[in-house]
Amino acid sequence: MRFMARFDPIFQTALDHMADTHTRRVLRPVRHAGAATVIRDGRELVNFSSNDYLGLSHHPALTARATEWLQQDGTGAGASRLVTGTTAGHMQVEARLAAFKGCEAAVILASGWQANASVLAALLRLAAEQGAPPLVFTDRLNHASLHQGCMAAGVRQIRFRHNDLGHLDSLLERHAGDDARAMRVIVTESVFSMDGDRTDIAQLGALARRHGAFTYVDEAHATGVLGPQGRGLCAGHEIDLVMGTFSKALGGFGAYVAGSRALCDWLTNACSGFVFTTAPPPAVLGAMDAALELVPMLDEARARLARNAEHIRGVIHGCGLSSGPSTTQIIPIMTGGAAHALSFATRLETHGILATAIRPPTVPPNGSRIRLALSAAHTDGMIDRLAHAISLAARERA
């Protein structure tokens, strides 16, 4: 043990620096008492930090099918998909997912981070093999997993200003005369997880077609919530590759990529995050299957979620605070400094609200915030309680 601890001073110095800058994280366990409440330190809190946007994590249809498939096929898949890990359940979920997304095919992966980091890396390596390094245009606020995919492929990102498609257009024009063999790839998100704003997918698709660019769009925070029947903002638009997750509005775990049959067949051969990992287990697949069956029927829940989000943005603005560019169920309360975000979160918790402070490096310096994530599982009373807590916390801060 003494030998194992000899580098601890290095780690402790880094931890001390994080503490001094109010950016050190500490794990605080909770018990989920339902889709919208947690128990922490013996106290019930209304949870406004979960990505369970439709409250499906506790829906009886998901738990019943997860249990059914678990009892039928056991606790694990036992191998990777290309060995003996593929079951009829995997094929059923992928077919249902492709139909839901309006694509020819879909591939399930273990997590959203793994999907972006490995799928994007595989795609960009293939593009480089065509004769020239790809030109990759990325939104400055893309998720860390998307940056990781670019880094893993060894490509330089050409970053455009956040959600500024005019700037993206100008960058594509600037590089129009570069090596004609180089594949143009645009990588962005449809809904951004920290700001709650959305990309104009119609404009993005038109711009990509004009420049002959491949489009890769992360729909993790839109799937289930936005678009017709919750099919995401890319539904009905010409986007080459759509990625999303089951771990947010779909109430379970895992991720997916949807696109053409050729694309998906190639990924099952070339994407390391698919080839070299154990297949998702039966219980996870059962929850996926039930969610995909249920989500198209939840239009009323999606409408209520949108109304509640608009109401809370009004409360925030009425307190003299900013909710940034949010237009979705993700609503930041901008605080600036990390210390201010932590103290605001503490004040909310004293009023029975769990709303996590988000600090650098997750967000830019001086961009700390409270990240509210609303759910259709929140009752009117819970929404009223949140509004009251925000007003009290804002006055206490002043």
Answer for the pair 212, 163: CB distance below 8 angstroms, yes or no. no
Q: Which of 197, 218, 240, 349 is catalytic?
A: 218
Say whether 51 is catalytic: yes
Q: Which of 51, 80, 343, 391 is catalytic?
A: 51
Q: Which of 193, 247, 326, 375 is catalytic?
A: 193
Say whether 193 is catalytic: yes
Say whether 351 is catalytic: no
The C-alpha torsion from 16 through 22 and 26 to 28, rounded to 10°, is 150
Cis amide prior to 361 (ω within 30 degrees): yes
> What's the residue count for the chain?
398
Say whether 142 is catalytic: no
Which amino acid is present at 348? L
Which amino acid is present at 263? L
Q: Which of 59, 211, 221, 378 is catalytic?
A: 221
Q: How far apart are alpha carbons 290 and 64 in whole angstroms?
A: 9
Q: Which of 90, 101, 211, 248 is catalytic?
A: 248
Say whether 50 is catalytic: no
Answer for the pair 258, 242: CB distance below 8 angstroms, yes or no. yes
Q: How far apart are alpha carbons 100 and 106 in whole angstroms?
A: 10
Closest CA to 302 of 371, 245, 249, 256: 249
Q: How far apart are alpha carbons 142 and 140 in whole angstroms?
A: 6
Q: Which of 101, 143, 211, 378 is catalytic?
A: 143
Q: How far apart are alpha carbons 255 and 107 in whole angstroms?
A: 8
Say whether 20 is catalytic: no
Q: Which of 52, 139, 189, 349 is catalytic?
A: 189
Active-site positions read 51, 143, 189, 193, 218, 221, 248
